[in-house]
């Protein structure tokens, strides 16, 4: 395990140079990895593991769109694609990648397949951290591990195909076999992680829920909407408001931040932009910090988890979700965005 300096704090991380793909294959050579669920994370992790030479099977309900997708992706019914129950029986490592709500409902069935020595793998600490609410309490004679890519399954797959990697955290909740650490690191390398950093199930879910509601999705949409609406109210056109709010950020500036950091991006903008950004960023930080404090407290207390469980368990959840997404889709800002995307120059 390498020790690296992250902004003055030393952290232990695992790199692909240290724990090679060949070592990962050797570690898991006798394992059957059962991917339970083929929705958000399932396809990317399953296909990356398969392409990297691991023994992978998929368990998915039938009929379903996800089952059909698994067939389209090359998994063969009766050979590498099974029902959830049969895949869990066959697997020595069970990657539990259903949605948080589905994990709760399927748990009584899945638990029957968790015989001594198997490993139960998560990519989200939700089910274990909030076990009093989810009822997910694994037997004591199985490994309970986590590898959580810091991005969507789609991004994980795209970066893998591009020869890159998506950083992941890893955690060990229960080491029944003495091999939990090697198992989870091998899986992290196998799914295509850029590097792996250690955490706990609780820290993973706290940071993840905060991030999703904060700068990754919730806060960024709120920030975009506030600026777009302000510009429109002051007489700017939809095209101008969208380009200055979203397009320039996502297409021009954010990639520079990803490549070299915020300071580099500032240094490579106009002096007028530099001055304004340096003058205003702390005002925005101070304005939103109380909101983040409230958000983290809600995550830590379990309130956010319960809201998610209650909402996702409602029979009309999908209908209500579509209505909320429709509100975004139908907003002027994102209708303008759809037009802007069509006008982007296409590669020859």
**Looking at the DSSP assignment, which residues form a beta bridge with residue 82?**
59
Of 38, 167, 168, 183, which Cα lies nearest the Cα of 97?
38
348 preceded by cis ω (within 30°)? no
Determine the Cα–Cα distance for residues 230 and 238; give it in Å rounded to an integer: 11
The conformation of residue 77, written as its DSSP 8-state character, comes to: B
At residue 235, φ and ψ (nearest 5 deg) are 95, 5
Q: Is the pTM of this model over 0.75?
A: yes
As a whole number of Å, the CA-based R_g of the chain is 22
List, run by run, the mean pLDDT of 10-residue segments along the chain (348 residues). Answer: 86 93 98 96 97 98 96 98 98 97 96 98 97 97 97 95 95 98 98 95 97 96 98 98 97 95 94 96 98 98 96 91 95 97 80
Which residue stretches of the chain are H helix? 21-27, 42-51, 65-72, 84-90, 100-111, 126-129, 131-134, 153-161, 180-190, 201-213, 218-233, 238-242, 254-260, 262-267, 271-301, 303-312, 317-330, 332-343
Active site residue 65: no
- Copy the structure tokens of residue 257: 């931040």
Helices 303-312 & 271-301 angle (0-180, nearest 10): 80
Given a contact cutoff of 8 angstroms between Cβ atoms, the answer to whether 111 and 131 are in contact is no
- pLDDT score of 346: 78
Domains in the chain, start-ordered, CATH in brackets?
2-199 (3.40.50.720), 212-343 (no CATH)
- pLDDT score of 348: 41
Determine the Cα–Cα distance for residues 18 and 30; give it in Å rounded to an integer: 22
- pLDDT score of 109: 95
- Copy the structure tokens of residue 105: 């409902």
- pLDDT score of 347: 54
Q: Which of 65, 124, 173, 236 does the annotation list as catalytic?
A: 124
């Amino acid at each position: 395990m390498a020790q690296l300096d992250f902004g003055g704090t030393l952290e232990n991380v695992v790199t692909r140079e240290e724990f090679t793909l060949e070592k990962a294959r050797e570690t898991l050579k006798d394992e059957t990895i059962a991917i339970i669920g083929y929705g958000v994370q399932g396809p990317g992790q399953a296909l990356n593991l398969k392409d990297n030479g691991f023994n992978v099977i998929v368990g998915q309900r039938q009929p379903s769109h996800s089952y059909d997708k698994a067939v389209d992706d090359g998994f063969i019914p009766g050979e590498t694609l099974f029902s959830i129950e049969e895949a869990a029986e066959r697997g020595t490592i069970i990657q539990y990648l259903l949605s948080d709500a589905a994990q709760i409902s399927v748990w009584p069935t899945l638990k029957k397949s968790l015989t001594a020595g198997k490993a139960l793998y998560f990519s989200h600490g939700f089910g274990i951290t909030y076990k009093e609410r989810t009822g997910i309490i694994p037997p004591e004679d199985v490994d309970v591990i986590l590898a959580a890519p810091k991005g969507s399954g789609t991004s994980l797959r795209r970066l893998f195909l591009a020869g890159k990697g998506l950083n992941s955290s890893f955690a060990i909740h229960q080491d029944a076999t003495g091999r939990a650490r090697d198992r989870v690191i091998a899986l992290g390398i196998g799914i295509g992680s850029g590097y792996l950093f250690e955490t706990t199930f609780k820290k993973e879910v706290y940071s993840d829920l905060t991030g999703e509601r904060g700068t990754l999705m919730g806060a960024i949409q709120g920030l975009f909407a506030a600026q777009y609406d302000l510009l429109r109210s002051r007489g700017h056109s939809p095209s101008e408001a969208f380009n200055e709010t979203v397009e320039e950020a996502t297409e021009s500036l954010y990639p520079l931040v990803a490549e070299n950091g915020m300071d580099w991006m500032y240094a490579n903008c106009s002096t007028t932009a530099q001055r304004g950004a340096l003058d205003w960023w702390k005002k925005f930080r101070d304005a939103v910090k109380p909101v983040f404090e409230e958000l983290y407290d809600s995550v830590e207390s379990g309130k956010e988890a319960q809201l998610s469980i209650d909402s996702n368990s409602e029979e009309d959840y999908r209908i209500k979700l579509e209505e909320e997404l429709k509100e975004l889709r139908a907003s002027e800002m994102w209708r303008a965005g759809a037009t802007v995307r069509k006008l982007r120059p296409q590669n020859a």
